[in-house]
Amino acid sequence: MNRAMNLRAKQTGATLIVGLILLLVLTVVGVSGMNTSTLEVAMSGAAQYQQDAFQMAEDGIDLAIGTRGFTTVGATTINFTGDPNYDRKSVTTFKIATPVPDAAFSGGVTAGSVQAFHFDVVSVGKGARNSSSTHTQSFYVVGPGGS
């Protein structure tokens, strides 16, 4: 009996030490997991803000084309609205007028009586936390030809 008591006395702190080491390992794993999840939340937020800026730039292009206020004399600008988080600005510029090659074969229209007016729209969209996106869209409008 004395020998059994002696072996138990030698092991008195071993369970405590093993338990503390396991607790330390679990704490390190938990803190690491929290840091990883916090970083992933920040990354997904940044991706969402960039997507918002992308959509605002697309909205600027849609507004510019939808207003149909095109001119060959200068640039047409739709300015920022002043929203600090979500905003857009677009500038429409005339590039060149070219003859429409198939116009002579459609419905009695004579060659040179219509031409294509080429325009570019540059739109800047802004999202939260200084995210931004710039898009360029080109299009043309068919109109009466020059003399």
pLDDT value, residue 4: 65
- Structural domain boundaries of the chain? 2-144
Query: To the nearest 10°, the Cα dihedral for 125, 128, 130, 133?
Result: -20
What are the structure tokens assigned to 114, written together?
């219509």
pLDDT value, residue 13: 78
Residues 6 or more apart whose CB falls under 8 angstroms from that of 73 comprise: 94
Cα four-point dihedral sign 40, 45, 47, 48: positive
For residue 125, how many other CB atoms are within 10 A of its CB?
Answer: 25
DSSP reduced 3-state for 126? strand
pLDDT value, residue 100: 80
- 99 to 63, 103, 111: CA distances (angstroms): 27, 8, 8
pLDDT value, residue 112: 66
Which segments in the chain show pLDDT lower than 50? none
pLDDT value, residue 74: 87
- 80 to 54, 55, 59, 65, 86: CA distances (angstroms): 15, 15, 12, 16, 10
